[in-house]
A and B are shown apart, each in its own frame.
Chain A
Amino acid sequence: MTVLLSLRGLHKAYRGDAAPFALDVPAFDLAEGEALALAGPSGSGKSTLLMMLALATPPDAAEEFTFAGQDITRHWRAGRRDALAELRARCIGVVPQTGGLLPFLTVEGNIALTQRIADRPDAARVRALADELGIRAQLGKRPAALSVGQRQRVSIARALAHRPSLVLADEPTASVHPELADAVLALLKRECAAAGAALLVATHDPDRAARAGYPVLVCETHAPGADGIARSVFARAPLAEAA
């Protein structure tokens, strides 16, 4: 298995909803095409970790942060925002919590958006994904005319349209009906597997993720210590100790 994403000694401090908060990732690897659920109570830093993995926010410190063969820490340190944007455009698909669709584009336009940004137009793939996800009839509509579940599926199609190597989903089931939640999780896993993309899903519900067939990484949370800072640790045994 090839390592797609590798983190060592990553640290990020931020002010949470109430108390100061620190996120530590001593070691974390993700292989190409691998699916994983990150579980933790709300406010445990799942979204923060996902944002760092989406190359959208920099870590405070990291011994190692490589993604798709590139040294991300170096990009951040050198302020190469366009290089990071390029990497986001080419290699990463994102499913935001509430879909995050552009209201002024049609469903088709929204799905094709990632293709356009990555400069990989492929209308056949847009239609194929729409078929797969059961939103073919909605392609010409605006997002406002869609149900919440349909919007979430459009968002999944958009995250996959440009053939990324990593899909990040932040609580994709938070805004949908519980019955729909299982279907969304299963759909994400199936589509990513079909596309050969690695998948990271942040969820507050590890049981549901496990039921959908995801390996689950639960975060360890530590109550505020003497310094008053709550800690949250995501640790995963390295994939290739030998290497």
Chain B
Amino acid sequence: MLRLALADLWHERVLFLCSALGCAAVLAPLIVLFGLRQGVVAGLRAELLEDPRAREIVSVVNRTLEPALFERLAADPRIAFVVPRTRALSATIVLENPERQGNGIRVELLPTAQDDPVLPGLSVLDQDELVLSATALQRLGLSVGDRVMASVARSRGREREVLTLPMRVGGVAPLAAAARDAAFATVPVLLLAEDFLDGTAPADARPASEAEARRRPFAGFRLHAARLEDVPALDREFRLAGIEVASRAEAVAGLLRLDRNLALLFVAIAGAGGAGYLVSLGVGLWAQVERKRRDLALLSLLGLKRRALLAMPLIQAAAVALAGAALAFGIAAAVATVLNRAFAGTVTGDRPVCLLNAFMAAGAAGVTLAGALVASLLAGLRAAAVAPAEGLAEG
């Protein structure tokens, strides 16, 4: 049956080519459109994702946030990372290179914890380690692994007291994490600095354990959502709960809106185009079966069973559909190459504006095949119902 069906196609190869081309002509623009949507959205999304700050939500007003809240945040599946922070005013520290005494610089002290998204590759930080911004590291003349003296000073009456902590440089923070002079430290270090400034800790105190520190209330937090999509919702929830936060919710919501709108646009165009495509494919195949009616009746008269008779239009439709889809994808890939070259570095940076992949190729082929098989099955059922007597009668 396969040989018979393919012999027929080969015999009418010009017609076969026309059908496949007709199929490709409608399908190719749809694939390009889909590729554009994928490319533009994926490009913008990647740009946002590359910046760890995009998923960041920071509380901006000092409050007293109980440990229960942090436990709840840590358990929330939408939140990938959360670290508490102390009051902004008490979060500065003076750093000094022990080799160059007297050349201390004042830097912002930022909290961090294990698997901090803004410090990729620096998963574990000991309590005596600091991650410095590149600028601070350069000004201090230090490199990773060097010793560094961290100190906080307070005035008690007329007396000036200094808390000094001998630390090590655990790593360099990427520019995206801290543009200004800054040092990342574990939460107990921040807490100690705050306690010292508040006068509740002596000058010879040392950082508490992480678990101990986490039992205390904090002034604020910095968290990172698990997915970009979660940012707007989390942002809204905090504001509703009366916690003033800063995030890129606007930009993220904008991207999501664009994604949705492009998806809608695509569905509208693809719906109209796709429906037209399937109708034209179906009508073409139906006409082909009608044209073959006499041959099919003859084969039936010669004793071919219904199932085999039905296979003939199905095989032919599948061949047209697959050839058409392959052709369409080839055309779309060529168009995509031209588009990507023309738009290089404009809309989506150095990413392709039109993104095509094997998954889409399989999808296009699958939809086409399904449509073709349904259309030819209907036509084939009609043909198979043809009385075999038609094969004997004069046609």
For the complex, count residues of B whose C-beta is within 8 A of A. Answer: 25
Which interface residue of A81, A89, A100, A113 has the most chain B CB atoms within 10 A? A100
Does A109 sit at the interface, judged by CB under 8 A? yes
A55 nearest CB neighbor, chain B only: B388
Contact across chains for A85 and B392 when beta carbons are under 8 A apart: no
- A212 CA to B7 CA in the complex, in Å? 38
B residues 1-56 in Cβ contact with A at 8 Å: 4, 7-8, 10-12
> For B299, what are the chain A residues with a Cβ–Cβ distance below 8 Å?
102, 117
* 9-residue interface stretch from A1-9, A90-98, A184-192, A219-227: A90-98
> For B8, what are the chain A residues with a Cβ–Cβ distance below 8 Å?
102, 104
- Determine how close the nearest CB of chain A comes to the CB of B256; give it in whole angstroms: 55
Contact across chains for B389 and A51 when beta carbons are under 8 A apart: yes
Does A70 sit at the interface, judged by CB under 8 A? no
Does B303 sit at the interface, judged by CB under 8 A? yes
B residues 168-224 in Cβ contact with A at 8 Å: none
- A81 CA to B388 CA in the complex, in Å? 10
B residues 71-88 in Cβ contact with A at 8 Å: none
- Determine how close the nearest CB of chain B comes to the CB of A173; give it in whole angstroms: 14
Among A57, A87, A92, A100, the residue within 8 A (CB) of B387 is A57
> For B388, what are the chain A residues with a Cβ–Cβ distance below 8 Å?
54, 56-57, 85, 88
- Determine how close the nearest CB of chain A comes to the CB of B382; give it in whole angstroms: 15
Contact across chains for B392 and A170 when beta carbons are under 8 A apart: yes
- Determine how close the nearest CB of chain B comes to the CB of A53; give it in whole angstroms: 10
Does B317 sit at the interface, judged by CB under 8 A? no
A94 nearest CB neighbor, chain B only: B301
- A82 CA to B304 CA in the complex, in Å? 8
Does B124 sit at the interface, judged by CB under 8 A? no
Q: A51-B392, A104-B10 are in contact. Are A90 and B298 (CB under 8 A)?
A: no
A100 nearest CB neighbor, chain B only: B298
- A100 CA to B302 CA in the complex, in Å? 11
Contact across chains for A102 and B298 when beta carbons are under 8 A apart: yes
Does B241 sit at the interface, judged by CB under 8 A? no
> For B236, what are the chain A residues with a Cβ–Cβ distance below 8 Å?
none
A residues 108-146 in Cβ contact with B at 8 Å: 109, 113-114, 117-118, 142
> For A86, what are the chain B residues with a Cβ–Cβ distance below 8 Å?
303, 305
> For A215, what are the chain B residues with a Cβ–Cβ distance below 8 Å?
none
- Determine how close the nearest CB of chain B comes to the CB of A129; give it in whole angstroms: 16
Contact across chains for A82 and B306 when beta carbons are under 8 A apart: yes
- A85 CA to B299 CA in the complex, in Å? 10
Contact across chains for A102 and B295 when beta carbons are under 8 A apart: yes
> For A87, what are the chain B residues with a Cβ–Cβ distance below 8 Å?
303
Contact across chains for A96 and B298 when beta carbons are under 8 A apart: yes
Does B300 sit at the interface, judged by CB under 8 A? yes
- A105 CA to B8 CA in the complex, in Å? 8
> For B301, what are the chain A residues with a Cβ–Cβ distance below 8 Å?
54, 56, 88, 94, 96
> For B391, what are the chain A residues with a Cβ–Cβ distance below 8 Å?
56, 94, 96, 100
Q: List 24 A-B contacts (CB under 8 A).
A: A47-B393, A51-B393, A54-B388, A56-B387, A56-B391, A82-B305, A82-B306, A82-B307, A85-B300, A85-B306, A88-B302, A88-B303, A94-B301, A94-B392, A96-B298, A97-B394, A100-B391, A104-B7, A105-B4, A109-B7, A114-B302, A117-B299, A117-B302, A117-B303
**A interface vs B, CB < 8 Å?**
47, 50-51, 54, 56-57, 81-82, 85-90, 92, 94, 96-98, 100, 102-105, 109, 113-114, 117-118, 142, 170
